[in-house]
Amino acid sequence: MKTANQILANLRSGALSAVDLMAETYDQIARVNPKVNAITGLLDRDAALDLARQADQSDATGPLHGLPIAIKDLANAEGFVTTRGSPLFANDKPAPADDIMVARMRAAGALVIGKTNAPEFGLGSHTTNPVFGPTRNPWDLSRTAGGSSGGAAVALATGMLALADGSDMMGSLRNPAGWTNTYGLRPSFGAVPSEPHADSFLTQLATNGPMARTPEDLAMLLSVQAGDDPRQPHFTPLPKADSPKPLRIGWLADWDGAYQMEAGILDTCSEALAAFSALGHAVVPLSAGFSAEAIWESWITLRSWQVSTLLAPLEALPNGRTSLNRQAIWELDRGKAMSAHEVHKASVTRSQWYKQAAHLFEQVDVLALPTAQVWPFDVTLDWPQEIAGTALDTYHRWMEVVVPASLLGLPALAVPAGFGAAGLPIGLQLIGPRGSDFSLIQMAQPYHDAVDWTDRLPPAV
């Protein structure tokens, strides 16, 4: 399976035409998508081939020129319906304009051919919704692919796309990457602008970002997506990485026992870290020195408060509340019931955790955690009810391991960590200080080249 950089090099040299690439892409989608249900709202094949012919005839030289791409169904792409996985929007008119990130990819030459499936409103790391149904894991079609960028990750893993966009509030780039043997980067907050809608100052939990099959491809897409937007008050510049050097990786494992983990996950991630050690990096066990429960309480307060502000207008629509799923109702009711003092208290905890994380980055260069606390679960389930016999108290507690980076807006790179006893993949999060995105990607490329599991193809292919 060729990388995006290889495909684009062939397009630039003339060894491959955009028309031939588009035909190959649609052939692959026809073979694989009926099994996995990752791409939705697909452009008619003839219309897509017309786009490719125009690309072949153009003198444009954008970094993504001629490359087919599908946009996560939470973002607007001109000419495509943004359903958000909800019946409330399933019959909307096509979006009249691109979101900022989509416009940047299109300006770089990408050819938008459809959308990728996501959970309803992006809630829950399991890509299923009442509009399109579930996206299935190509490594085992009876399992979930994660979410909310599950459609994007599966499209990458199965060769239907060479690059994909995603978004991440609570592991939505990292979890599906980990469960499909691909790469996903949650960028530093402010590096990739979101839309200048509603509040732009207080809500700092979610961000858009790139997904790919290799770190080098990830870096290329991040370079297209990132950059200042004058309408956004927060901007984090991303300097290019320094010359490669050995780094210190702090392995947080299960956070001193605070995170329940299914059997085999920590062992698989430890083997991945051994591969980093073999490349010259120092891996050291590290105690976070901060309460996981305090981080969790801060997170679910700020998350519910933010999500409820987005869902409240929908509740006011005719049949609005009855159209919302259980996850949305849970977030909505919690958020609406919060006082300003509760939100402030949660942000104080966040500030304290940021201070402690800064202290950790004085000891190590990178923090490491698994991308999930469970293996890919049954696709028919709404969410896991327990981990290793311990009952879970919310629909997303099994994703608690992604919260420390999300709460602080830190860059977190999900890399494939290998496969468990059942042949299912899991990922490893590499977390750095703000602005270290390209350094994380740089350290991941030699790892990608060194380990044998990154070249494996899923059975669904």
Give the lowest-confidence range in 202-206, 273-277, 363-367: 202-206
Q: How is residue 212 written in tokens? A: 């790919």
| pLDDT score of 197 | 84
Q: For residue 287, what is the domain's CATH number?
A: 3.90.1300.10
Which whole number is the average pLDDT over 28-37? 98
Q: CB count, 10 Å around CB of 102?
A: 24
321 assigned to some structural domain? no
328 assigned to some structural domain? no
Distances (CA, A) of 70 to 149, 211, 352: 12, 12, 39
Which whole number is the average pLDDT over 296-300? 98
Taking the CA atoms of 254, 257, 260 and 264 in sequence, report the sign of the dihedral they define.
positive
**Per-residue pLDDT tens for 116-151?**
999 999 999 999 999 999 999 999 999 999 999 999
User: 166: which strand partners?
Assistant: 209
Q: What residues have CB less than 8 Å from 109, skipping those under 6 apart?
A: 55, 60, 61, 62, 63, 64, 65, 66, 67
Q: In whole angstroms, what is the distance from residue 219 CA to residue 445 CA?
A: 10
Between 198 and 386, the higher pLDDT residue: 386
Which whole number is the average pLDDT over 401-423? 98
| pLDDT score of 426 | 98
Which whole number is the average pLDDT over 301-322? 93
How would you class 452 by CB atoms within 10 Å of its CB: exposed for 0-12, middle for 13-18, buried for 19 or more? exposed
Ramachandran bin of 217, using left for φ above 0, alpha for ψ from -120 to 50, beta for the remaining angles: alpha
330 assigned to some structural domain? no
Nearest to 133, CA basis, from 217, 196, 215, 39: 39
100 assigned to some structural domain? yes
| pLDDT score of 73 | 98
Q: How is residue 303 written in tokens? A: 């998350």
| 366, 140 contact by CB (below 8 A) | no
* High-pLDDT (> 90) share of the chain, %: 97
356 assigned to some structural domain? yes
Q: In whole angstroms, what is the distance from residue 99 CA to residue 91 CA?
A: 19
Which whole number is the average pLDDT over 245-274? 98
Using pLDDT thresholds of 50, 70 and 90, give the confidence band for residue 445: very high
How would you class 431 by CB atoms within 10 Å of its CB: exposed for 0-12, middle for 13-18, buried for 19 or more? buried
Peptide bond between residue 58 and the one before it cis (omega within 30 degrees of 0): no
User: 418: which strand partners?
Assistant: 426
At residue 230, the 3 state secondary structure works out as: coil
Domain that holds residue 114: 4-293+341-455
Using pLDDT thresholds of 50, 70 and 90, give the confidence band for residue 435: very high
pLDDT at 214 over 90: yes
| pLDDT score of 135 | 98
Which whole number is the average pLDDT over 22-46? 98
8 assigned to some structural domain? yes
SS (H, E, C) 232-271: CCCCCCCCCCCCCCCCEEEECCCCCCCCCCCCCHHHHHHH
**Per-residue pLDDT tens for 88-113?**
999 999 999 999 999 999 999 999 99
| pLDDT score of 372 | 98
Upper half-sphere CA count for residue 321 (Cβ side, 13 Å): 7
Mean pLDDT of the chain: 97
* High-pLDDT (> 70) share of the chain, %: 100
Q: In whole angstroms, what is the distance from residue 81 CA to residue 77 CA?
A: 8
| pLDDT score of 237 | 97
Q: In whole angstroms, what is the distance from residue 425 CA to residue 178 CA?
A: 7
| 111, 18 contact by CB (below 8 A) | yes
Sole residue written with tokens 């028309």: 19
**C-alpha triplet 215, 296, 306: angle, nearest 5°:** 80
pLDDT at 182 over 90: yes
Q: Name the residues annotated as catalytic.
A: 72, 148, 172
pLDDT at 267 over 90: yes
**Per-residue pLDDT tens for 250-263?**
999 999 999 999 99
| 312, 283 contact by CB (below 8 A) | no
Using pLDDT thresholds of 50, 70 and 90, give the confidence band for residue 319: confident
Q: In whole angstroms, what is the distance from residue 79 CA to residue 269 CA?
A: 42
pLDDT at 318 over 90: no
Using pLDDT thresholds of 50, 70 and 90, give the confidence band for residue 198: confident
327 assigned to some structural domain? no
Q: In whole angstroms, what is the distance from residue 421 CA to residue 88 CA?
A: 41
Distances (CA, A) of 423 to 126, 351, 371, 404, 418: 19, 40, 17, 28, 9
Report the number of distinct structural domains present in the chain.
Answer: 1
Nearest to 211, CA basis, from 270, 126, 148: 148
Using pLDDT thresholds of 50, 70 and 90, give the confidence band for residue 177: very high
159 assigned to some structural domain? yes
Distances (CA, A) of 4 to 110, 161, 428, 452: 12, 9, 22, 19
**Amino acid letter for position 441:** I
**Per-residue pLDDT tens for 321-340?**
999 999 999 999 999 999 99
pLDDT at 203 over 90: no
Q: In whole angstroms, what is the distance from residue 283 CA to residue 287 CA?
A: 13
